[in-house]
Amino acid sequence: MSMKLDNKEDIQQLAMDFLAVAQEAALSSYPWVGKGKKNEADGAGTEAMRTRMGSIAMDGTVVIGEGELDEAPMLYIGERVGTGRGPLVDIAVDPVEGTTLMSKGMDNALTVIAVAEKGHLLHAPDMYMRKIAVGPKAKGKIDIEAPLTENICSVARCLGKDISEVTVMIQDRNRHQSLIQEVFEAGAKVKLFSDGDVTGAIATGIEDIDVDLLVGTGGAPEGVIAAVALRSLGGDFQAQLICQNEEEFNRCVGMGLSDPDRILRLDDMVRSDRCFFVATGITDGILLNGVRKKADGSMLTHSFITIGGRGNNFQFVETRH
């Protein structure tokens, strides 16, 4: 019989187990850095992740993964993972967040995993989502329905900064040109990135990284993963799914989202503090260092862990393998 996840010791133990999962996935993907083969890199990371998860004492269900059963041989949505004995949890994974970055040898590719007690993660379909993310000091002070300039001013007040000192991270896409222009007109700073918005969302919650606000449209699954990280960090995240056709709208309804167009608050995406987020760098980035091979043949990984219910609490872990 599975036990209910009911104390922080269970969460802490699982977080350490999943740290090893993220490390294995990053190490397995690393040989494909700069090789121009996205699918091979993702496949290697996925297989390593699935294998390591199988040994964890939990009854886990993949709610965000590599796709539907007919699209993915493993880590498909609905797949049961773990030994089947232990805490009941929902799991969201991306074995290689930034496959294009990794295949081109670019920065900010990483392995990411988000875990929460069962029934407490939004089951987001693979579609677009509007997002806005901030760190703990601006929690409760953002509004995705308000103009970006208003949000910039609000964040500046919360951080005790002049607007000219506020940094807004935005993905470098044509669809974001109006947002970029609005940041310029407000007098704030833009920090553009090419792929993978989970890193940017997390960066808002870490004072040592010069990112105060993340805005833009990106993948919904990545949005849920970022929401778990920000809930654990004590930050804030709001979103809205973008249904581009009737098929996507009906898919949302079929997944339990009766009103797909409504604004999603942090509590809508991850409904419990019994959650955690783990990431391991594959290539160097603003959050983590990439995998490194040492002269003696050993490998070095750099990881990040943040656990819900502990305020703005996180740790970086460097491990030699």
173 is in an annotated binding site: yes
Query: Which residue, 245, 194, 197, 188, is CA-closest to 218?
Result: 197
Do the Cβ atoms of 159 and 212 come closer than 8 Å?
Answer: yes
> According to the annotation, is 97 in a ligand binding site?
yes
DSSP codes of every residue in 205-219? T-TTSS--EEEEEEE
Per the annotation, does 289 bind a ligand?
A: no
> What is the C-alpha to C-alpha distance for residues 165 and 189, in angstroms, rounded to an integer?
7
Please give the Cα distance from 235 to 204 (Å, whole number).
Answer: 8
Cβ-count burial 168-199 (b if 16+ within 10 Å, e if not): bbbbeeeebeebbebbeebebbbbebebbbbb
Residue 318 annotated as part of some ligand binding site = no
Say whether 111 counts as a known binding-site residue: no
DSSP state of 146: S
267 labelled binding-site residue: no
268 marked as binding residue: no
The answer to whether 169 touches 214, Cβ cutoff 8 Å, is yes
Contact 27, 320 (CB under 8 A): no
309: number of Cβ within 10 Å = 15
Nearest to 113 by CA among 12, 217, 255, 15: 15
251 a known binding residue?
no
Annotated ligand binding at 43? The verdict is no
Q: How far is CA 37 from CA 101, 110, 130, 230, 283, in A?
A: 11, 16, 29, 31, 15
Q: Which of 243, 277, 237, 282 is nearest to 260 (CA)?
A: 243
208 is in an annotated binding site: no
128 is in an annotated binding site: yes
Q: Has 182 been labeled as part of a binding site? A: no
Q: Which residues are annotated as a binding site?
A: 42, 66, 94, 97-99, 128, 173-175, 195-197, 219, 222
Q: Which residues are annotated as a binding site for substrate?
A: 97-99, 128, 173-175, 195-197, 219
Q: Which residues are annotated as a binding site for Mn(2+)?
A: 42, 66, 94, 97, 222
